[in-house]
Each structure stands twice: as C-alpha cells, then as structure tokens.
Chain A
Amino acid sequence: AQSVTQPDIHITVSEGASLELRCNYSYGATPYLFWYVQSPGQGLQLLLKYFSGDTLVQGIKGFEAEFKRSQSSFNLRKPSVHWSDAAEYFCAAHSGGGADGLTFGKGTHLIIQP
C-alpha cells in the first residue's frame, strides 16, 4: 500500500537553529511530493513541491527540501528557524494523475524554544 511516514511526532528546536524534518514514502513509482504547514485551527499552506528535475527544491518562508530516490526520502530543511515557524508540518504524496487525492504523513509538531 502507498504510504508516507514522518518518523518524528514532535521536534523541539531553539530559535535560530537549523531544522530538518524527515519524510519517507513507499510507492511503486516515484510519487509527486509536497510539504504543507498548518498553524493551529487553520488550513494547510503549501511550502514546496517536487514533481521532477532538480532534487533540491526551494519553497516559501526560507524552506527547502531534498528528494533522495535511493532513500525514498523528501526531508524538509530550514537553516535558521523563527518563532513563527512553530506549527504542524505534513509531508504528502500522490501517485500521479491530476485528480488524485493526497496521502499524508501523520505530521510533525514543531516547537520553537526561545
């Protein structure tokens, strides 16, 4: 079955420190990959996406992600976090076809320490 795994339920990072959130996928073929952020009580905002091409993708708010086919991973990174980055982060995938629904990981809750 197709699945997306985010191994870390919670991550705590000090403000100004670097961040990496892990995401692994299990699909028959390389899926299309996304990272979304959700603030409390809000909808989902797209941070970045990978369809093909350059394996390092840049997103909004200073985030980037690297696709590694050999590791079936799509980890999200940020060199220096801000208190406003505290939120829930979801990795998601779909297998292609423009109408497919997204399969989400369980999310990683990011806590920023002052």
Chain B
Amino acid sequence: DAMVIQNPRYQVTQFGKPVTLSCSQTLNHNVMYWYQQKSSQAPKLLFHYYDKDFNNEADTPDNFQSRRPNTSFCFLDIRSPGLGDAAMYLCATSRGGLAPNEQFFGPGTRLTVL
C-alpha cells in the first residue's frame, strides 16, 4: 500500500543535542509537509517542500531545518532541541498543483527532550 512512513516512531534526545527525524513516502507526491503537534493542541505547520522548493512558515524558529534529498524522503533537523520542542512531529504529503487535494499523514514521531 502507498503510504507515508516516519522513523523513528519515538525519539529521545538530550537538551541541546541535535536530532533528525525522517519521513519517506511511496505516493510519489510533489509536496511534503512537517507539522508540530504539542500535547493536546492542534498540528501547526512548520514548513513544506514543493518538489525542491522550500517554504518556511514565518513563525517557525530557526532551530528547525529541513532537507529533501529526493522525491521520496524528507528530514526534519532540530539543531539544538529545547524542552519546549518536545512534541509529536507529523509528516504529510500531497500531490500539489492548482487543484485542491488532500494531505496524507504519517503516524508521527514523538520527540522527548531530557
């Protein structure tokens, strides 16, 4: 089945220690998104890639970076995690284009910062 895969499902890191979260997709979608979802809150868009074009949300902290080496993979890098960065990180994909379309979500990676 075509899907969005996130690894790892659970990640523990130390305060200030860089961490990378991974997302891959078999849908061959043009757009890949990263959302942050803190406990009992709605998901909040951090940034997205449309093909190789990176689109950052205005209020996304500089501490958060992303890479998309190819169509299938996208990475979220947190350069110096703080306690406030503990959250569920959700990757999503969509076809893109001008017509409306839905986003497909992965299962998420829950990040704990010690």
Report which A residues bind B (CB closer than 8 A): 32, 34, 36, 41-46, 49, 51, 90, 94, 96-99, 101-102, 104-107
Contact = CB atoms under 8 A, between A and B. Distances in A.
Contacts, number: 62
B57 A101 contact: yes
Given A98-B31, A98-B97, A101-B57, A34 B43 contact: no
A107 B88 CA distance: 15
17 contacts: A43-B90, A43-B106, A43-B107, A44-B90, A45-B105, A46-B102, A49-B102, A51-B100, A94-B100, A98-B97, A101-B33, A101-B35, A101-B45, A101-B57, A104-B42, A106-B42, A107-B42
A32 B102 CA distance: 9
Contacts of A98: 31, 94-101
A102 B31 CA distance: 13
Interface of A is mostly: loop
Interface residues of B, number: 34
Contacts of A90: 42-43
A99 B50 contact: yes
Contacts of B70: none
